[in-house]
Amino acid sequence: MKQLSVIVRRDRAVLVQGAFERGAVEAVEAWPTTSTGLGPAPRLQYRGSFYDDDRCVRFEAIVSDMQADAVAVLMRASLSPQEYLLTSRLLDGVEPTPLLRA
């Protein structure tokens, strides 16, 4: 099992969510964060001042090794390397939680 962590700009979040869905990962946590180095940031203007929008979204999921590889391939196909930060961490002794269906 691996823990995948992906950080993208807000406008690219739908592409990452789609990669997780196509990779058959159902339990994905997402929350706002800030980050730099993700390609050219959108320019925002407030009261005559311009600044870079560094607001991003972080996605995390516990996945199998095969799912991690599938998600990485899908993200490479839909995003350029400068548009996302992908990290994975090997988790020892963690089994996937079965999803309860009604």
Say what the pLDDT of residue 60 is.
92
Give me the sheet containing 2-9, strands edge to edge.
29-34, 55-63, 2-9, 84-90
Of residues 83, 102, 85, the one with CA closest to residue 40: 83
CATH architecture of residue range(s) 2-90: 2-Layer Sandwich (3.30)
Say what the pLDDT of residue 102 is.
45
Say what the pLDDT of residue 59 is.
92
pLDDT tens digits in sequence order for the chain, 102 residues long:
888 899 988 888 898 888 888 888 888 888 888 777 676 667 778 888 887 777 788 999 988 888 888 888 888 888 888 888 888 888 877 665 555 444
pTM over 0.85: no
